[in-house]
Amino acid sequence: MLIKGVIRALSIETNLWTDDVWVVDSTPVECGRSKETVRRSELAGWAEYGYCASHARYFWGLRLHLVCTLGGLPIGFALVGAKPTNARHCSTSSLSTPALLVNAQVRRLIGDKNYFSKEFEASLADQGLQLLRPARKGEAERPGAGLFKPLRQTIESINQTLKGQLDLERHGGRTPDGVAVRVLQRLLAMTAAIWHNDKTGAPIRRSLTDYDH
C-alpha cells in the first residue's frame, strides 16, 4: 500500500530510525456501539468485542498494535480483533520485514505482559529481538523490570497523541479497507510531523502543537 511505503520512506530519513529500543502496546479502535451496527457491519468477522482497561468498559472493534521508537516514530503496526489474546500474534507479523530490522538495528522490544508465549519470543529472537516484559503470575522475575513503568508511560503517551490530536477514535471507517486507510492516515500524519520536526531541529520530535489547528 502506498501509505505504508511513504511512512517507511519518511521514517528511514529521521534520526530516530536507528534507535535500538522499541516499545509495543495496543489501543482500541472502536467501530460501532449499537447492536444493529454490529449485526449489519461489513467489519463483522474482523471486529469483535474486547475490553478497554483505561476506560473500564467493553467495546466492539479492533486493536491497533503499534511498535514505536522511544521518540514516538512508528516502526510496525497491525490491526487485529479486539481480544487481548491476539497481542502475542500480531506483532510478529508487524516485525517480519528483514529489511526493517537490518536498517534499524533493533535489539530490544519492550511490551506488557500480554505479549507472551514461547513461540512469540522465539520468533522475535530469530529476528534479533529480545523481548522485555513484566513477569506473569507464576513466572520468575524477568530482566529489565525497572524499565517497564516509565517506558509504558511513553507508549501510552504516543497512543494518546493518536487519539487526542489525530482523532483515532473518530476514524469514521465502515469497511475493512476504510478503517485500515484511516488508521494509516493518522500514522502517516504523526510520522510526517516527526520527520519535519527532526529536519528542523525541533526539541520535541513528536510535538504536533504547530500543526494542531
* Residues in contact with 17: Cβ distance below 8 Å, sequence separation at least 6, in sequence order: 11, 69, 73, 103, 104
- Alpha helices by DSSP H, listed for the chain, are 2-12, 35-40, 87-94, 98-104, 118-126, 145-164, 176-200
The span from the first CA to the last CA of the chain, in angstroms, equals: 28
Give bridge partners of residue 116 from the DSSP assignment: none
CA distance 61 to 59: 6
30 phi, psi to nearest 5 deg: -70, 140
Helix axes 176-200, 2-12, angle to 10 degrees: 20
Is residue 28 a contact partner of residue 41, using CB atoms and an 8 Å limit?
no
The reported pLDDT for the residue numbered 193 is: 93
CA distance 175 to 177: 5
pTM to 2 decimal places? 0.84
The candidate with the shortest Cα–Cα distance to 94, out of 76, 109, 80, 108, is 76
> Which CATH number does 2-198 carry?
3.30.420.10
Q: How confident is the chain (213 residues) per 10-residue block, as mean pLDDT?
A: 89 90 88 84 89 84 90 89 68 53 65 81 80 83 74 82 88 91 94 94 85 66
Longest dimension (CA), the chain: 50
Is residue 78 a contact partner of residue 94, using CB atoms and an 8 Å limit?
yes
The reported pLDDT for the residue numbered 191 is: 95
CA distance 165 to 147: 27
The reported pLDDT for the residue numbered 96 is: 47
Q: Is 181 helix (H, G, I), strand (E, B) or coil?
A: helix
CA dihedral for 114, 119, 121, 123, sign (positive or negative): negative
